Amino acid sequence: MTDQPPAPSTRGLQRSEALARAEMIEVSGYDVALDLASSEETFDSTTRISLTSRGGRTFLDLKPRAVRSIRLNGTAIDVDLLQRGRVPLETVEGVNEVVVEAVMAFRNDGEGLHRSVDPADGRHYVYGMSFMDAAPSIFACFDQPDLKAPYTFHVRAPEDWVVIGNAPGHNPEPGVWELETSKPLSTYFVTLVAGPYHLVRDEHDGIPLGLSCRQSIAADLDADADELLTLTRQCFDELHRLFGIRYPFGDYHQAFVPEFNAGAMENPGCVTFRDPLVFTSRVTRGQRISRATTVAHEMAHQWFGNITTPRWWDDLWLNESFAEYMGNRVTAEATQYDDAWVQTAYARRQWGLLADQRPSTHPVAGNGEEDATAALQNFDGISYAKGSSILKQLNTTMGDEVFFAGVRDHFDRHFYGNATMQDLLDSWTRAGAVDLGPFADNWLVTAGPDRLVLERPDRLLRTPAPDRPAERRHTLRIATRAAGAADWQVDEQVLDAAETAYDVAAGTAVLLDPFEDTWAVTEPDPETLALLPGLVATTTDPMLRAGMWNSVRSAYHHARVSPDAVLDLLEAWLPVEDQDAGLQHTLGWVLAKVVPLAADPDAAASRVHAATWQVARAAESGSTVQLAAFQAAVSSCASVDLLEGWLMGRDLPVGIELDLALRWRLLVRLAVLGAVDRAALDQHLDAEPTAVSRVEHTRAIASLPTAEAKAWAWARFSGAATAPNYELEAAGEGMWRAGQEQLTDPYVARYFDELPGTAQAHSGWVLADVAEAFFPLTSLHDTTVTRAHELIARADLDASLRRRVVDTTDELEHRLAVARTYGSH
């Protein structure tokens, strides 16, 4: 209990404030009425909240365009008391009721109640994203994860709209939707999806299933509906088997919505996904696996996160690490995508390892985050990829029986409630696990990865992250291949000391942890690196090849492998790789981080183009490996004639279809080379004005090597011109093109001068994403690094901006080290 109302924070909700409010009140339920039909800019929101209080002062969260009235227990509260999103309340002991009538703004930044217009047909679509601190811009609430309550929604909408929410609903009269009372939810799970959405309905094991998307991509959803629904059924069956607890939230609807910031959001009963996951052009198997693991990830959240929710944001791993692990595992074990772990190795491992080596690294669990808004930045590779890896290790050690017995105990004890890391550890202990305290201290609470390397001829070294001492026991497999051997030999090894004896004969290649049994940075020793190009063509295990590349990428990040060595390995590997995920992610990395830092970037790009073009012509016609190779061949091509011929449909490899995605890839590359103008790009957009075209049109314009194009992109950074979230990111990515430094150099200083002011133009998720997308990573100069550190040191810099600048500055410093070491700078 507090004697005075908490002062509104200039940051997000503080943990101390949340603890005090949770001690004072318990929310019984929300009744929310929304009018989405009266305006395209705003909507009426009436919220009736029932709560029980110990009595005393607390505060309500509210972020309206305007407030009509606020009443507490029938007594009007002065609406001018609303300050910085908070209304002070003087509650009485016992039952209280708060009623708020407000006008809210539709948003276009992917948060709150986001409203967008489909450029293909002009139809309007709405969806709710309440995550982190956006719920109060939809309805008045007590916005923290441990004040769960049931919700009842009443919605008025245009008569041609459908409305879907966290609980089943019905449409008693045109334009009126009544949703049933939901199960207890944290505020950040509350959503509505409303608009003229195309619907697909089904049912499995007594659970009503649904899919929805914009009308303009309805045919594409219909084409994928069988795959998506099959994945959903398989995942439900496997999750029910593993957890022994049925999905408890009624319907299970999966809504593919426009301009969504995240990959997906696990709202109970109505999961929202970014709608590029409805594939409108041909995609690789790796992209389908990524979508499948996303579907499974969000389904796992119905247990980890939705049934039992972390009490506070310092325990993100109780949500994301578990959903990541279960999503990958269930996809691999219960669906057609039994190679999901290979795709994950290429797509996620480096994301997590790099995040864990940044200055901003943090523990997997108990990360100490006191500010709810700043906690958004910890939804990163550590909370996902690292946490998932550690859980995979823990499951291997415990075995399924103890692991899932503890999980079931955890859910049973905190059903529809909240929990902490210690609560889960206690559940595992009751199930029979031992020595979890040291495990948690070393793996979950201590940040940073160990570095594991071979020191020839006879030692393995284990080095913890600087200034983060830990005593971690690594149980991993090591792959060795002696000179003249036909294949790799794999043995298990335990590393539980700083040095471990390990004899290696000369001429033997050694890969540490290629199957990702543990969490650590591994790097090939120089002798192994030199041998790999001669061995990769006869390396048949796709997971071993993925582990090889992750090891090389880690060493390259620290300037211990040259760009030329990477390209040597790439040229030997490409003709034999049969996993398109390997091609997409490795080639994307090479084009972004290796080619620009080579001593001769043009020659390096030419090597990549020649190798990928050869694969595109030699691969099986119509295969997804061919598609991945051709995509990279386009992005590395320096021949305008060849690109223009492909765009006209000439000289394409048999099996390559010139669909929308490939046309825009060609146009973006032509724009980078200055071989297409703004008028031509506009014509292509006008010919097919889809959401995909809008984003790629933005990327292409920003990529043009003209002063006008860079000024056009910069206007979106500064807020002088407005654009939806996907287009903002595309503008930043297109602006900073290697080789265009003469045009972009004047914007380096402007970035550091003007970034703090972007908080007036952008907010939340988009604010941080814009800071990253527009960071001058192509400016490989000490002065750029100095300016970045000066900006980081500013006390008035928004916390989310600081986090992104810290991370991108660290990336710039590593790129500069590579350039200096290997002669390109």
Tens-digit pLDDT profile for residues 779-796: 999 999 999 999 999 999
- Cβ atoms of 313 and 331 within 8 Å: the answer is no
**Residues of the chain predicted below pLDDT 50:** 1-10
Identify whether 596 is part of a domain.
no
Identify whether 210 is part of a domain.
no
Task: Provide the 3-class DSSP secondary structure of residue 292.
Answer: helix
Identify whether 60 is part of a domain.
yes
Query: What's 232-251 look like in SS3?
Result: HHHHHHHHHHHHCCCCCCCC
Residue 735 structure tokens: 């602006």
What are the residues whose beta carbons fall under 8 Å from the beta carbon of 530, sequence distance 6 or more? none
Identify whether 32 is part of a domain.
yes
Q: How far apart are CA 348 and CA 293, in angstroms?
A: 12
- Cβ atoms of 495 and 454 within 8 Å: the answer is no
What are the residues whose beta carbons fall under 8 Å from the beta carbon of 750, sequence distance 6 or more? 714
Identify whether 13 is part of a domain.
yes
Q: How far apart are CA 284 and CA 510, in angstroms?
A: 31
Identify whether 114 is part of a domain.
yes
Helix axes 746-754, 707-718, angle to 10 degrees: 10
Q: Return the pLDDT at 524.
A: 97
- Cβ atoms of 273 and 294 within 8 Å: the answer is yes
Task: Provide the 3-class DSSP secondary structure of residue 788.
Answer: helix
Residue 439 structure tokens: 């495990």
Task: Provide the 3-class DSSP secondary structure of residue 558.
Answer: coil
Residue closest to 493 by CA, chosen among 501, 505, 485: 501
- Cβ atoms of 784 and 747 within 8 Å: the answer is no
- The one-letter amino acid code at 195 reads G
Rounded to a whole number, what is the distance in angstroms from the first to the last CA of the chain? 60
Identify whether 444 is part of a domain.
no
The dihedral over CA atoms of 639, 644, 649, 654, expressed in degrees to the nearest 10, equals 10
Q: Return the pLDDT at 4.
A: 30
Task: Provide the 3-class DSSP secondary structure of residue 63.
Answer: coil
Q: What are the helix (H) ranges across 574-722?
A: 580-589, 601-618, 624-635, 640-647, 660-672, 678-687, 691-703, 707-718
- The one-letter amino acid code at 258 reads P
DSSP single-letter state for residue 180:
P
Q: Is the peptide bond before 457 cis (omega within 30 degrees of 0)?
A: yes
How many CA atoms lie within 13 Å of 504's alpha carbon, on the beta-carbon side?
28
Residue 804 structure tokens: 């992104």
Catalytic residue at 298? yes
- The one-letter amino acid code at 63 reads K
349-387 CB burial, b ≥16 within 10 A, e <16: bbebbbbbbbebbbbbbbbebbbbbbbbbbbbbbbbbbb
Q: How far apart are CA 507 and CA 172, in angstroms?
A: 77
Residue closest to 423 by CA, chosen among 519, 497, 513, 312: 312
- Cβ atoms of 306 and 182 within 8 Å: the answer is no
Residue 593 structure tokens: 């981080």
DSSP single-letter state for residue 206:
T
CATH assignment of the domain containing 60: 2.60.40.1730
- Cβ atoms of 231 and 295 within 8 Å: the answer is yes
Q: Give the domain range for residue 145.
A: 1-196
Q: Return the pLDDT at 11.
A: 64
* Neighbour tally for 206: CB within 10 Å: 7
* Overall domain count for the chain: 1
Q: What is the pTM for the complete model shown?
A: 0.96
Please, which contacts does 748-751 make with residues 24 or more away whose CB atoms are closer than 8 Å? 748/776, 748/779, 748/784, 748/787, 749/787, 750/714, 751/717, 751/775, 751/776
Residue closest to 448 by CA, chosen among 388, 361, 557, 517: 361
| For the chain, counts of helices (H) and of strands (E) | 28, 28
* Neighbour tally for 590: CB within 10 Å: 25
- Cβ atoms of 654 and 683 within 8 Å: the answer is no
H/E element, 88 = strand 86-91
Residue closest to 755 by CA, chosen among 790, 730, 723: 790
**Alpha-carbon dihedral sign for residues 528, 529, 534, 538:** positive
* Neighbour tally for 70: CB within 10 Å: 23
- Cβ atoms of 165 and 269 within 8 Å: the answer is yes
Residue closest to 168 by CA, chosen among 204, 203, 134, 208: 208
Q: Are strands 94-105 and 151-156 parallel, antiparallel or unpaired?
A: unpaired
**Alpha-carbon dihedral sign for residues 292, 294, 297, 302:** negative
Residue closest to 317 by CA, chosen among 380, 370, 235: 380
205 Ramachandran zone, left/alpha/beta (phi>0; psi -120 to 50): left
- The one-letter amino acid code at 769 reads D
Identify whether 149 is part of a domain.
yes
Q: How far apart are CA 291 and CA 235, in angstroms?
A: 13
How many CA atoms lie within 13 Å of 170's alpha carbon, on the beta-carbon side?
4
Helix axes 563-573, 542-557, angle to 10 degrees: 170
Which entry of 298, 324, 577, 727 is annotated as an active-site residue? 298
Residue 135 structure tokens: 């719920």
The angle at the Cα of 251, spanning 250 to 252, to the nearest 5 degrees, equals: 120
Radius of gyration of the chain (CA): 27
Query: What's 725-785 look like in SS3?
Result: HHHHHHHHHHHCCCCCHHHHCHHHHHHHHHHHHHHHCCCHHHHHHHHHHCCCCCCCCHHHH
Q: How far apart are CA 320 and CA 314, in angstroms?
A: 12
768 Ramachandran zone, left/alpha/beta (phi>0; psi -120 to 50): alpha
